[in-house]
Chains A and B, each alone.
Chain A
């Protein structure tokens, strides 16, 4: 269970949100500049809220100015929009960078059909393969929460459909809270258990998807 209650002044807007996430996929939906990525960054520890409290299960990640758990200790997987794969490492080196168990990482690679790409470099594989490598790398660290920042935006129609199915399958296999940022309504409805509509830094609606 993730509990978020935070305020942060950005250049044009003031972010002021409160929500909770249980072992479900929630979608942060809103136009660009509405503060979606900043929320992810505050949860991951890449940014600090001005005030507020973020708690993951029984661990306080950040509370006002007095508590700030370093990024490394948060156990949060983060899939960046551009995947942020290390260009100088092979697929396997990328995945094993922070993995907990070799067997689990290898099983994930088989699951996502990238085990034959082990020794390739990121610039030698397709966009869809990069995306699957990045998600494998994030899950191999066995995080307690997964943050996905528009992970499908760079994919073509076919690869995107496949990635949607894979994400749902991974979530069924492995129930952890997932926050997905997107600006595609269709994607939000297909993947989300709940959709949080964000506008100018405030939550407009918190709507379950049937």
Chain B
């Protein structure tokens, strides 16, 4: 076992971490704006956001290649403007992880903001609080249990991303070999010992994340419940 190179694990954590931060910020921002407003095409937009959740990862990967490839709209733009090619780089791993984990964050954040009682924010406004203050002291803390659920799920999903990553980033040892890719290529090359090692790691991480999240949510649900205690 000692000859196993741990770099896929660090790479997975780094890419999933960066992807989760990006997904958290954009997911919270978009959910906050879209959840509270009615506009033409809202349903279509939300369906597009959720699409990566139901599409096969190969389709997502294909779409990303189409966008970021040498002849893709974004790929061409990046190449012309910054002389930068995304495909087969560390950045490609992050992009794939962001796209597949975004729906989970968006869905959690959207539900979290919709459950808020609007009167709580109204009360804060009548007390003279600015929009910014209301968001940070009322809306955000109350939505936090839902946002955290989205955060953990997105991270777990980003950590486990395989299909789209393989298509956009390929398997380049030391650059794009995340744990799921390492498992696949270990099996391919008959190295079952290494594959087993990584499988155990991934299962343990996923289990811990979900178990902790369930425990934490239950504890918080009790704390925030509006249940009345009579004296």
Contact = CB atoms under 8 A, between A and B. Distances in A.
Interface of A: 44-46, 71-78, 80, 82, 84, 86-88, 97-98, 121-127, 137-138, 141
Given A123-B225, A127-B228, A77 B126 contact: yes
A131 to B, nearest CB: 12
Given A88-B141, A125-B229, A126-B229, A141 B119 contact: no
Given A46-B125, A84-B120, A97-B137, 10 more contacts: A73-B128, A75-B128, A84-B119, A86-B123, A87-B224, A88-B142, A88-B223, A98-B127, A126-B231, A141-B128
B129 interface: yes
25 contacts: A44-B126, A46-B122, A71-B125, A72-B125, A72-B126, A73-B128, A75-B128, A77-B126, A78-B122, A78-B123, A82-B119, A84-B120, A88-B141, A88-B224, A97-B129, A98-B126, A98-B127, A98-B128, A98-B129, A121-B223, A123-B224, A123-B225, A126-B228, A137-B127, A138-B127
A134 to B, nearest CB: 8
A41 to B, nearest CB: 9
A86 B127 contact: no
A84 B229 contact: no
Interface of B: 117, 119-120, 122-130, 137-138, 141-142, 223-231
Nearest to A99: B127
Given A84-B120, A87-B142, A71 B126 contact: yes
B111 to A, nearest CB: 18
A127 B230 CA distance: 8
Contacts of B226: 87, 122-123
Nearest to A44: B126
B125 A86 contact: no
Contacts of A124: 229
Contacts of B137: 86, 97
B122 A80 contact: yes
Secondary structure at the A interface, as helix, strand, loop or mixed, is: loop
Given A87-B224, A88-B224, A80 B123 contact: yes
A38 B138 CA distance: 24
Contacts of B128: 72-73, 75, 98, 141
A123 B130 CA distance: 26
B125 A84 contact: no
A88 B130 CA distance: 19
B228 A97 contact: no
B145 to A, nearest CB: 10
A126 B228 CA distance: 7
Contacts of B231: 125-126
B229 to A, nearest CB: 6
A143 to B, nearest CB: 8
A78 B230 CA distance: 25
A140 B228 CA distance: 24
Given A46-B122, A84-B120, A126 B230 contact: yes
A123 B227 contact: yes
Query: Looking at B117, B122, B137, B142, which has the most chain A CB atoms within 10 Å of its CB?
Result: B122
Contacts of B125: 45-46, 71-72
B126 A97 contact: no
Contacts of A127: 228
Contact of B126 (A76, A82, A87): A76
Nearest to A127: B228
Contacts of B229: 123-126
Contacts of B130: 72
Query: Looking at B117, B125, B127, B223, which has the most chain A CB atoms within 10 Å of its CB?
Result: B127
